[in-house]
Amino acid sequence: MLTITNSSKDPFYNLALEEYIFNNYTEDDIFFMWQDEPSVIVGSYQNILREVSVLDLEKQHIPILRRMTGGGTVYHDNGNINYTYITTQAGMIDYADCVKPVIDGLNALGIPAHQNRTCDIAINGEKISGSAQRMVRKRLLHHGTLLFSSDLDRLFTITMKDKNDNIQSKGTLSAICPVTNIIEYLPKPLSIEDFQENLQNQILGTGATEITLNENDQAEIRKLRDKYMSWEWIWQKTPPFTYQKSGTFCNAPIAVRYSAKKGILYDVEIHSQHINFQQAADLFEQSKLDLSLLREKCHLLTSKNGDELLTFFT
């Protein structure tokens, strides 16, 4: 078994590091744990606009990232610990095999965790861990969250409350289910750092080898980090969708419609007595699905009420 100590809390770096390890260490089983600063991570083929409020997250300075595994949207904060388990699997994927080491580790620490649904871990039926996978050739990357002392109200507000129903789209939807924190079930009080160390020791046992990265490795990881920061990775992978939202804009009815494919808008219609229909259609046609760009264009159309107009696009 290999492991790596990663003290970075930069979510972009952490996804890049994980991908680098997955791509370059292709023989041994690997297990490691890590934490992110507050961030939202969507599944490989999810529609960000459907899953979260991009305007609310922008206000809270919470970045949105896209990972390379399947599944739904998660919220990471300083009360959450992530784990990554990379292994070789011949034949069909067995999720029980993936979550078993973590469940066994939690049980050994006196926490009554059990497998729930396909690949969740729960205590008394309330979820403490969700996970997702990527399989390339015979190598499987399985990673998951562990809610230790996360802000569950915030998690609920960000990832579960008010899904955006203005979107018609294919793509992966997130599951909505009751959650709890591990800290409620500790036999004796532990800091999150001690909990992480104890659990990792349980899972790794003795004799795990530490991966060391040289300057070359770090340079490659920085390149991958740039990918995870890029518009192309975050927005272009959005499945094709159509969007429609109506309401009141400057005391008059408004309806906004558009379609997007590979993150590019087309057939944009703004029906409002305050907006010139053709000017708007021309301005937004072939525009990137990018919050600052859309904001800029909304302000071009209506300098006073650009921010209000933008809410009809998201």
Partner 1 sequence: MQKKLTMPKLRPEMEKGVLCAWLKEEGEKVEAGEPVFEVETDKVVQQIEASESGILSKQLAEEGDEISVFDSVGIIDT
Binding site for partner 1 (CB under 8 A): 43-45, 68-72, 92-93, 95, 118-119, 131-137, 170-172, 237, 239-240
Q: Long-range contacts: 277-285, Cβ < 8 Å, 24+? A: 284/258
Question: Strand, helix or coil at 211?
Answer: coil
CB of 265 to partner 1, least distance (A): 17
CB of 279 to partner 1, least distance (A): 32
Q: Could you give the residue ranges of the DSSP H alpha helices within the chain?
A: 11-24, 48-51, 54-59, 95-108, 152-159, 192-204, 215-229, 231-235, 277-284, 291-301, 306-310
User: For residues 238 and 302, which CB has a smaller minimum distance to partner 1 in the complex?
Assistant: 238
Distance CA 84, CA 211 (A): 14
Structure tokens at 244: 């429609």
Distance CA 164, CA 299 (A): 23
Residue 269, strand partner residues: 257
User: For residues 80 and 133, which CB has a smaller minimum distance to partner 1 in the complex?
Assistant: 133
Distance CA 170, CA 35 (A): 31
DSSP character string of 274-307: TS-HHHHHHHHTT-B--HHHHHHHHHHH-TTTHH
Under 8 Å between Cβ of 254 and 267? no
User: For residues 132 and 256, which CB has a smaller minimum distance to partner 1 in the complex?
Assistant: 132
User: For residues 136 and 252, which CB has a smaller minimum distance to partner 1 in the complex?
Assistant: 136
CB of 144 to partner 1, least distance (A): 10
User: For residues 65 and 68, which CB has a smaller minimum distance to partner 1 in the complex?
Assistant: 68
User: For residues 117 and 304, which CB has a smaller minimum distance to partner 1 in the complex?
Assistant: 117
Structure tokens at 190: 């532990």
User: For residues 144 and 275, which CB has a smaller minimum distance to partner 1 in the complex?
Assistant: 144
Structure tokens at 123: 């205590």
Distance CA 304, CA 200 (A): 54
CB of 79 to partner 1, least distance (A): 23
Structure tokens at 170: 């294919």
Question: Strand, helix or coil at 94?
Answer: coil
